[in-house]
Amino acid sequence: MNRWIIALVIVAAFGIGRFAAQTQAPAQQPPPQQRPTADPYANNAQPGTTQFPLAAPAGRDSNARTTAPQGALNTGPFDPATWKYGGAFNPPPNSKIWNPVKLKMMRGEKVTGGTVFSATDPATYCAMANAGYDFIWTEMQHNDRDWGAVARMWRTCPYAKAVPGVRVAYTDEREIQHALDAGALVVVVPTVDSTAEAIEARNWTYFPPLGRRSNGGGQAFDGAMWGGVPGGYRNTINDNVVLIEMIETLEGLKDADQIAKVPGVSAVFAASGDLGNFSGYRQGTPDYERAINIVHDAAIKAGIRLCGPIAWRDRPDFTCFQAGSETAAIARGVAAELGPLANTQGKPEVGPLAR
């Protein structure tokens, strides 16, 4: 009898424990509506109960093209050219900059970007992101990596010392919005040849009213990345994103002054390699230096930052730099660590490792 009583007590205790665990489990997860999201309908009331008092009557023409609802700020016939943009996405008053790269640029301080050229391993990316750079220049112009691999790397350590940055392949809505939706805070656009292209790159980088970026979501909106920034991601990213446009061709030099003056362009990059490639002259020759100085003058006149390779960190007025790749950083680090022991491998006389 005693054994039966003990067994019943154990079963009852187990059942109470399971019930308590089940009733407490939901409290450990925040309700879905509290999680940052780009979905404007995520916080609606229960389906079927929401009312839309200003909606067009069912089956009837509301004449919205010519007549605005009562209380609308935009009245008269609809015209995009005269539309007054609303304040729904204004940043809160006195919002502070939360992107450290933008903050340094605004102060005129020198900014460095470490290049992740070929790695897809998040551990390698995070090592570079915590090595001391200001941002990571994730290379997408001269690499066959896909955006899924980039997104995985960025979300592994979003709060590393260096913020996620990228050089996209070209001026394109898909390229730039993939980068931003994945969490990029620095966007580098190569081979900008004209004022029109500079404006297009700006348009895909910024949300309205400055640009035309779509509010479609992505991991940038997640609380694990930028969804919890002060003031909210959508409302503050226009003030925090950094757009660097590269001038690399003779056509770009021709429009350099106008490119630098496009609202939203944070910096122009004097492309050391491709300005030589497209001009036919090497660094140090008068014709090459003239090309670099054209970009320099455009930045100075526009009052924006001037970028170049890390080797130019002592060149006048350059405050933004691209540093070497992850493989170069490994080689430099090992050489510094080993000192005189570096490259002292044994030298067999035979076999595939004979040197």
pLDDT interval class at 45 (50, 70, 90)? low
The pLDDT of residue 187 is above 70: yes
Q: What is the pLDDT of residues 86-116, one digit of tens each?
A: 999 999 999 999 999 999 999 999 999 999 9
Q: What is the pLDDT of residues 306-332, one digit of tens each?
A: 999 999 999 999 999 999 999 999 999
Helix (H, G, I), strand (E, B) or coil at 226: coil
Q: Is the dihedral of CA 167, 168, 171, 172 positive or negative?
A: negative
The pLDDT of residue 4 is above 90: no
Gap between the Cα atoms of 213 and 114, Å rounded: 27
Q: Which residue has the tokens 């001391």?
A: 132
Predicted local confidence at residue 3, as pLDDT: 47
Contact partners, residue 243, CB within 8 Å, separation at least 6: 187, 189, 201, 202, 205, 206, 264, 265, 266, 267
Per the CB < 8 A criterion, the answer to whether 289 and 314 are in contact is no
